[in-house]
Amino acid sequence: MQEETASSNEQHPVSLKWIQRYFKIAEQVSAWSKDPSSKIGAIIVGDKGQIISQGYNGFPRGVIDSEDRYNQREIKYKLVVHAEMNAILNALYNGSSVDGATLYVHNLPVCHECAKAIIQAGITRVYIDTNINERWQESWHYTKTMFSEAKVECYYYNDADGSITRQC
């Protein structure tokens, strides 16, 4: 018996049940962040459904992650590693390849800087669960452009109704 797919109007590579499960894991990972204003989580899943890596927004290993630094945006933005980048780097740190993998990002869209790393690492599919607000429009524009040109599939998952919308 074939599992329910995430979208009825197109053949979708991942079942809705698994997309929901992966986003719940990414949400749990986001809670590990010490950032008081943004908690972002990402997981990388291999072509057989195995979780390869995880990441959340935080400072690099060994860098002091004090409350004071997180509360000063100018300092925080210079030190923080985004969840997507952290997941890629954690995979590398553990000797795992992410070539052909899928990335699930909870709580923010993929910025254009992380998009470059996603493409270079060989990740072929990305799911996000956050609408793009005004603050992220320009970055998201460049992300979508690069993803489209590099043939990285990108989807928006709406948890409220379980719908999946292709973004690029």
Residues annotated catalytic, as ranges: 84
Note whether 123 and 84 are within 8 A (CB): no
Please give the angle made by the CA atoms of 157, 158 and 163, to the nearest 5 degrees: 80
Q: How many CA atoms lie within 13 A of 159 on its CB side?
A: 13
Please give the angle made by the CA atoms of 8, 10 and 109, to the nearest 5 degrees: 95
Helices of type H across the chain: 16-30, 67-71, 73-79, 83-93, 112-121, 137-150
Position 136: which residue type?
A: W
